[in-house]
Amino acid sequence: MELNNFPVFKTKVEGSARFNLNDPAERRKYFDAKMGAELKIIKNYLDKGNTFVAFLLGKKNSGKGTYSKLFMEAVGSDKIGHLSIGDIVRDAHKLVETEDGQKEFISFVEKNYRGFHSPSEIVDLILGRSQSTLISSELILTLIKYEISKRPRQAIFIDGFPRALDQVGYSLFLKEIIGYREDPDFLTFISLPNTVINERIKYRVICPICKTPRNLKLMVTKEAGYDQATKQFYLKCDNPGCNSTRMVPKEGDNLGIDPIRERLEMDDKIMKQLLGLHGIPKVYLRNAIPVEGAKDKVDDYEITPGYDYELKADGTVNIKESEWVIKDDEGRDSYSLLPPPIVVSLVKQMVEVLELT
């Protein structure tokens, strides 16, 4: 199986209703319409106390966090945990900044860490005071253990591990290493072109309250605003409880993929190596599909459109939708899929790999 040629998963349902996939209420109806039977199967599986460990494998900014959040939105978040290695390291940094937190973490490290750093050296690594530029794989495993210890009886999505070639071996036996339950695990591969990643980064915004990501060009909310001072348009978060909070970009995103090209190449190498692994089920998620034949596989509203903005005379903003065609890594004219149909593909394949039917 080649990364650029994963099978196109058919989500098209003839005669089905049309849904606005940017609206949370509409997404709920969409998920029920497209995979209602599979959702019931997975919910029943989790309600019985069963769990799983799923490795999310994709290039940086491939949508791993977005797909996890949407999966939890569809299934329910109380029995699902999303572990981002980047978030785990940042959370550990905040923890050891306090005296009580540092004592708590060192106590855990003394019981669970096996490696070549003393507890004080580990604290220095996490706080960035060490001359070492990378946190060791052994320490990453300990941080994963620490995070899972706070999440009993949850199915786990692990996002960002392995992130280096030397961590591939650890990932094969992660459940045994961390003492996680003897529940099934599987690899989830996410394939998408660099052109999509570039656009996702350059126009990405996030809600400062709920941390939900959106994109000014590719995945909008229901409402947008206009900043007279900067002459720029912005999105308003439409999640309940956020009160239309202004969504903001991350520093440096305007540079696109240029600062992370080496990281993208490493991600490719890791995924290609793991694609050849035997003995563990695999789920294949494909973001971009060739224009030719696409309308036979997916409904048109499942295809990512492009968006532009128009400031009206009354000061409100009109969001205009248009077709967005990109070149995939093979040079083929392609459409990019919105996240919800990819989550449909994820759920339906999960039912198969977990052997729930």
Per-residue pLDDT of 68-97, as tens digits, reads 999 999 998 888 988 888 888 888 888 888
Look at residue 335 and tell me if it is in a domain: yes
Ranges 149-153, 280-284, 301-305, 312-316: which has the least confidence: 149-153
Look at residue 95 and tell me if it is in a domain: no
Look at residue 157 and tell me if it is in a domain: yes
Look at residue 282 and tell me if it is in a domain: yes
Look at residue 106 and tell me if it is in a domain: no
Q: What is the pLDDT of residues 157-206, one digit of tens each?
A: 999 888 778 788 777 777 776 676 678 889 999 999 999 999 989 999 99
Buried residues in 318-349 as b, exposed as e (16+ CB within 10 A):
ebeeeebebebbeeeebbbbbbbbbbbbbbbb
Q: What is the pLDDT of residue 338?
A: 92
Q: What is the pLDDT of residue 131?
A: 46
pLDDT band of residue 232 (cuts 50, 70, 90) is: very high
CA angle 259, 264, 270 (to 5 degrees): 150
CA angle 59, 163, 121 (to 5 degrees): 145
Task: Note down the domain range covering 289.
Answer: 3-79+153-353
This prediction's pTM: 0.82
Q: What is the pLDDT of residues 299-348, one digit of tens each?
A: 999 999 999 999 999 999 999 998 999 998 889 999 999 999 999 999 99
Mean pLDDT of the region 241-270: 91
Query: Is residue 252 over pLDDT 50?
Result: yes
Average pLDDT of the chain is: 89
Number of domains comprising the chain? 1
The conformation of residue 217, written as its DSSP 8-state character, comes to T
Look at residue 166 and tell me if it is in a domain: yes
Look at residue 147 and tell me if it is in a domain: no
Look at residue 139 and tell me if it is in a domain: no
